[in-house]
Amino acid sequence: MGKDIEREVLALIATDRLHIPISSMSGKLKRREPKLAKTLGLVEGKPFHGERAYARVKTKNIDKARRLSDAVKAYSTDHPDQGVILQSYIEETRVDAETHVYFGMNSGARLTAEDYLGVMTDLGFTEAVARNLYQPLLDTSRTISRKREEGERSVLIG
């Protein structure tokens, strides 16, 4: 039983370490998309049609719900006495519980390539693709981990 739990903890650690570079790259790509789209200089009604790609601008009016803070302000203006009470309810703190699992590697212990490759194949990568991505992802993970404290980690489970 102990070996099964350790295998699962190692998978959790490998998953966490792979998540870091992938999440970092995902964040960079998400921030890059709107910047690239804005640099195109396209305007509505004048689409671009190239040999291999196209792009167009379209503006849509969408209904959005009022922000809660704006609703409270409007209510407080219309009903000052009750608005004060409502605001006090909002400002009250409440106790909530969070359950975390803390994990880490024992001193001198290391994850193996097989630990990482197992996580990657569980994600749906073929073994060949996982092996090709393994080293670049690990290099990126190590670079990122040098910039932050590499100690015990945790994951919220409830």
Whether 128 maps to a domain, the answer reads yes
Q: Which residues contact 56 (CB under 8 A, 6 or more apart)?
A: 42, 44, 47, 48
Whether 9 is in a domain gets the answer yes
The answer to the question of residue 29 being in a domain is no
In a domain, 37, yes or no: no
Residue 92 included in any domain: yes
pLDDT at 148: 64
- Residue 42: inside a domain: no
Query: Facing residues of 65 across strands?
Result: none
> Model pTM greater than 0.75?
no
Range of weakest confidence among 35-39, 41-45, 138-142:
138-142
Largest CA distance in the chain: 67
More confident residue, 42 or 143: 42
Question: Which is more confidently placed, 96 or 36?
Answer: 36
Q: Which domain holds residue 86?
A: 2-22+47-156
32 lies in some domain: no
Q: How many independent structural domains does the chain possess?
A: 1
d(CA 14, CA 36): 33
Whether the predicted pLDDT of 103 surpasses 70 = yes
Q: Residue 103 and residue 109: Cα distance in Å, rounded?
A: 13
Cα distances from 16 to residues 90, 113, 132, in angstroms, run 35, 15, 19
CA distance 116 to 119: 5
